[in-house]
């Protein structure tokens, strides 16, 4: 990280060289939504859209957080490639940096799952899956965009075909139920003993990153912002419609990343990127300030709250309560269970926004 310069003018958010304000705002919106979903304290009063949908229950807003993170990861690849080309770096350098970044993200993911378990663990978590999907998208990025999209389609078709047509012993082919499906069978009988439960999800998530790299190409084009935003909006509508159509055959499903879920996640995120591009053009960059701040430090915004929650809030005690429960009890005692729950949840999000704003003002950005 490197520190520079004084506070920015909120009316004109300075753009970090080689970055997209709309992409940073999209990433920041995803970060804030993630912090809210992961720290909501309303119990049975939690809004349905902030809960993950049950099996067969379609999709909720909470289910889109992870695919939007992956979309942002893939959209950023063309910007990283352009920076590499400006430095006259060859594919070997690009491959090496992509591999190192993936290994670093994977290692950070192992740190997080081990911190949560309070013991060393080798397992696949959010960052590990992002690392593997990113690596596939990055090393394949130099091939033409249409070929990348064709490859993404092939991965999704193959994944769908396996679920639909490969028989599960004692169950048969085409069964996709919570307790009976091909992916569950493979995870339980072959992958879990190796600590690789969920590794098959790299197939659809890599497809999402490949699709996202094409979205990044469009975001990178030297077009008028309104024209660019319009193209992104309608591309997002198209991908979402394709995802909805596919869900009529194989439902939206977050645990196993069904193709319909991938396409709707990519489509809804692309549509939102188009809207943010319009907003940036119409109202100026200052309107997006609240989102750009966390979007410029998304990795820190993901890792730091988890570690502080595990090592401080859930470990330090005041009397018989850990700090997290003490703060929540105080909030609910002062304002009631519903308002107090919101005070705690939004206070948690607000605290981390202020931390990220301090890093932003100092121009300290954590990259890997």
User: What is the full DSSP assignment across 191-228?
Assistant: IGGGT-TTGGGHHHHHHHHHHHHHHHHHHHS---HHHH
Average pLDDT, the chain: 92
* Residue 362: both structure tokens together: 């100092």
Answer whether 269's CB lies under 8 Å from 235's CB: no
The whole-angstrom separation of Cα 49 and Cα 38 is 13
Summarize the confidence of residues 262-280 as an average pLDDT. Answer: 96
Which position has the higher pLDDT, 368 or 298?
A: 298
**pLDDT tens-place string over residues 231-244:** 999 999 999 999 99
Q: Which residue has the tokens 């077009």?
A: 223
Angle between helices 202-220 and 77-86 (to 10 degrees): 60
Predicted confidence at residue 20, as pLDDT, reads: 87
321: left (phi over 0), alpha (psi -120 to 50) or beta: beta
Predicted confidence at residue 7, as pLDDT, reads: 35
What is the residue-wise DSSP string for 223-278?
--HHHHHHHHHHHHHHHHHHHHHHHTTS---TTTT-HHHHHHHHHHHHHHHHHHHH
The whole-angstrom separation of Cα 254 and Cα 67 is 9
The whole-angstrom separation of Cα 112 and Cα 331 is 28
**pLDDT tens-place string over residues 57-83:** 999 999 999 999 999 999 999 999 999
The whole-angstrom separation of Cα 291 and Cα 31 is 9
Answer whether 245's CB lies under 8 Å from 193's CB: no
What is the three-class DSSP state of 322?
strand
Predicted confidence at residue 18, as pLDDT, reads: 54
User: Which residues lie below 8 Å from residue 286, measured CB to CB, with a gap of 6+?
Assistant: 9, 10, 11, 12, 13
The whole-angstrom separation of Cα 266 and Cα 206 is 12
The whole-angstrom separation of Cα 84 and Cα 88 is 7
310: confidence class by pLDDT, cuts 50, 70, 90: very high
Predicted confidence at residue 6, as pLDDT, reads: 36
Q: Is the pLDDT of residue 256 over 60?
A: yes
């Amino acid at each position: 990280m490197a520190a520079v310069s004084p506070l920015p003018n909120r009316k004109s958010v300075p753009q970090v060289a080689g970055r997209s304000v709309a992409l940073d705002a999209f990433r920041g919106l995803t970060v804030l939504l993630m912090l809210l979903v992961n720290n909501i304290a309303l119990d049975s009063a939690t809004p349905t859209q902030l809960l993950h949908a049950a099996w067969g229950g379609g999709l909720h807003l909470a289910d889109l957080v992870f695919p939007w993170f992956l979309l942002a990861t893939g959209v950023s690849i063309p910007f990283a490639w352009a920076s590499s080309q400006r430095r006259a770096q060859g594919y070997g350098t690009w491959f090496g940096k992509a591999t190192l970044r993936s290994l670093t993200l994977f290692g950070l993911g192992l740190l997080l799952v081990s911190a949560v378990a309070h013991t060393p663990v080798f397992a696949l978590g959010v960052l590990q899956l992002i690392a593997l999907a990113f690596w596939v998208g990055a090393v394949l990025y130099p091939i033409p965009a249409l070929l990348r999209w064709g490859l993404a389609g092939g991965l999704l078709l193959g994944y769908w075909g396996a679920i639909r047509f490969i028989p599960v012993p004692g169950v048969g082919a085409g069964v996709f139920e919570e307790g009976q499906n091909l992916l569950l069978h493979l995870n339980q009988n072959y992958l879990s003993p190796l600590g690789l439960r969920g590794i098959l999800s790299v197939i659809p998530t890599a497809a999402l990153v490949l699709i996202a790299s094409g979205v990044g190409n469009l975001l990178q084009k030297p077009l008028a912002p309104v024209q660019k935003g319009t193209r992104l909006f309608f591309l997002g509508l198209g991908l979402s419609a394709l995802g909805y159509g596919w869900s009529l055959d194989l439902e939206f499903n977050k645990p196993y990343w069904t193709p319909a879920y991938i396409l709707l996640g990519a489509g809804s995120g692309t549509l939102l990127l188009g809207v943010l591009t319009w907003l940036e053009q119409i109202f100026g960059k200052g309107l997006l300030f609240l989102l750009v701040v966390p979007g410029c430090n998304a990795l820190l915004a993901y890792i730091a709250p988890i570690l502080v929650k595990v090592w401080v809030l859930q470990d330090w005690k005041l009397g018989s309560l850990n700090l997290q429960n003490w703060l929540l009890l105080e909030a609910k005692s002062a304002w009631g269970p519903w308002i107090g729950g919101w005070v705690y949840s939004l206070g948690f999000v607000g605290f981390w926004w202020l931390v990220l704003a301090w890093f932003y003002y100092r121009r300290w950005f954590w990259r890997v």
